[in-house]
């Protein structure tokens, strides 16, 4: 098949809409179920590149959760701790294959942003992964294949309308790509930048102790940024993105946004959050919204009389700003990537508040000296990659 008709484009008024191969050849994707839309395919085709590259770079099954053409989460299939199982909403009796663990971590990092996501998997979707996906609100999935039972589980989602796409894992895009804006055709070479340990050899700070785990996290950060709408910044820890700031006009706003998300991720590990007395039948989305409020500045809205009763069996204690800041300070060894250079040291100041110890960025700012000096102030290791990763 060389064409798939879509319901509409980005918006309902944008018709007709389709995807097709300009050379008349067959599409590398097959729709196994549902009717994916224009944005679904944008998410799917960006996400599948991300996870394939992450799998190739780390050797681990990988998953990403996309929303509006940027990842909300991305992760490799490392084993989950007991606390991670709880905060990622994995049940005690759930089987976790490496692929299922990757999905749980990608979906769980920023559950608010991942609501209604499009999932990409690096490997054939197995039953364990499908069972985790089954209980989440999601628009669709793309993978190189599906185990028969897994496919049937997924087909049952959304009253049988769940979008399921299979991609030919051997597909290679043309080295020259095109797109149109306002009737004008743009042409550029496909972004073939790849990352490995050699990408971070140009360490410009006094501290040069870049560990193997840190290198792995920086690789994940760079690959994630490659498919994130610019400007973008990505915090990574233990093989997964924990905070992604996408599409901001100012880099410091990217750093703050991603840092705030990383802090929220870490605060979900706090005893105060783990012990929240939720009602037994509270919905998954309602629970996520409540945790988001409880770990932020709007906590008083959640704990107001007449409101907390909707979520909890008893009123939780206040999680004070001082308590939150003290717990955030316990987060360490976080890696941070930026898709372009940091223009000012204020980005480093903000990153340090979220436990960042390793940074990778292209370099090339006229204020590189100021940025390096700020890294040295906090003992941060920073490597210049020389590779910019704008994505639009």
pLDDT for res 64: 98
Residue 82 and residue 193 in one domain: no
Percentage of the chain exceeding pLDDT 70: 100
Decide if 323 is inside a domain.
no
Question: Into how many domains does the chain fold?
Answer: 3
* 3-40 per-position pLDDT tens digit: 899 999 999 999 999 999 988 899 999 999 999 999 99
Per-residue pLDDT band at 1 (split at 50, 70, 90): confident
Percentage of the chain exceeding pLDDT 90: 95
Residue 261 and residue 275 in one domain: no
Residue 239 and residue 374 in one domain: yes
Which active-site residues does the annotation give? 67-68, 231, 392
Q: Which domain holds residue 296?
A: 271-318
Closest CA to 94 of 108, 114, 75: 108
Mean pLDDT, the chain, integer: 96
The larger pLDDT score, comparing residue 93 to residue 276, is at: 276
Per-residue pLDDT band at 93 (split at 50, 70, 90): confident
* 293-310 per-position pLDDT tens digit: 999 999 999 999 999 999
For 43-56, what is the mean pLDDT? 97
Residue 294 and residue 343 in one domain: no
Decide if 390 is inside a domain.
no
Q: What is the DSSP string of 45-90?
A: HHHHHHHHHHHHHHSS-EEEEEETTEEEEEEE-PPPPHHHHHHTT-
We report the CATH number of the domain holding residue 353 as 3.40.140.20
Closest CA to 141 of 117, 110, 107: 117
pLDDT for res 160: 95
Residue 119 and residue 45 in one domain: yes
Whether residue 2 is predicted with pLDDT greater than 90 in this model: the reply is: no
* 184-197 per-position pLDDT tens digit: 999 999 999 999 99
346-353 and 368-378 are packed helices; what angle lies between their axes, rounded to 10 degrees? 30
Cα(344)–Cα(326) distance, integer angstroms: 26
Decide if 389 is inside a domain.
no
Residue 190 and residue 289 in one domain: no
For 386-392, what is the mean pLDDT? 95
For 61-84, what is the mean pLDDT? 96
We report the CATH number of the domain holding residue 282 as 1.10.287
pLDDT for res 370: 94
**Around Cβ 34, how many Cβ atoms within 10 Å?**
20
């Amino acid at each position: 098949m060389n064409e798939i008709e879509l319901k509409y484009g980005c918006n309902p008024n944008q018709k007709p809409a389709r995807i097709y191969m300009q050379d008349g050849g067959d599409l590398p994707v097959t729709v196994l179920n549902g009717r994916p839309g224009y944005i679904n395919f944008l998410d799917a085709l960006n996400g599948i590149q991300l996870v394939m590259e992450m799998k190739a770079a780390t050797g681990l099954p990988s998953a990403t959760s996309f929303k509006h053409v940027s990842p909300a989460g991305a992760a490799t299939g490392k084993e989950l701790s007991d606390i991670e199982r709880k905060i990622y909403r994995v049940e005690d009796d759930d089987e976790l294959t490496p692929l299922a663990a990757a999905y749980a971590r990608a979906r769980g990092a920023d559950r608010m942003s991942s609501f209604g996501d499009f999932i990409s998997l690096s490997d054939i979707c197995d039953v364990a992964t499908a069972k985790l996906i089954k209980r989440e609100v999601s628009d669709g999935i793309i993978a190189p294949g599906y185990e028969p039972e897994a496919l049937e589980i997924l087909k049952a989602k959304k009253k049988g309308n769940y979008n399921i796409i299979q991609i030919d894992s051997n597909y290679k895009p043309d080295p020259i790509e095109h797109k149109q804006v306002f009737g004008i055709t743009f042409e550029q070479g496909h972004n073939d930048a790849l990352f490995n340990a050699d990408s971070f050899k140009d360490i410009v700070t006094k501290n040069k102790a870049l560990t193997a785990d840190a290198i792995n996290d920086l690789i994940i950060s760079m690959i994630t940024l490659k498919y994130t709408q610019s400007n973008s910044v990505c915090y990574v820890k233990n093989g997964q993105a924990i905070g992604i700031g996408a599409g901001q006009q100012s880099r410091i706003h990217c750093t703050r946004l991603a840092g705030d998300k990383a802090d929220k991720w870490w605060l979900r590990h706090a005893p105060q959050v783990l012990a929240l007395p939720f009602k037994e039948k509270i919905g998954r989305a309602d629970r996520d919204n409540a945790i988001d409020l409880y770990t932020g500045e709007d906590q008083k809205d959640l704990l107001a009389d007449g409101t907390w009763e909707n979520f909890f069996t008893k009123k939780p204690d206040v999680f004070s700003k001082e308590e939150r800041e003290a717990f955030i300070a316990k987060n360490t060894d976080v890696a941070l990537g930026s898709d372009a250079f940091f223009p000012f040291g204020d980005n480093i100041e903000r990153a340090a508040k979220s436990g960042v110890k390793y940074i990778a960025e292209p370099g090339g700012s006229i204020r590189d000296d100021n940025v390096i000096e700020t890294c040295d102030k906090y003992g941060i290791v920073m490597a210049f990659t020389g590779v910019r990763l704008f994505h639009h």
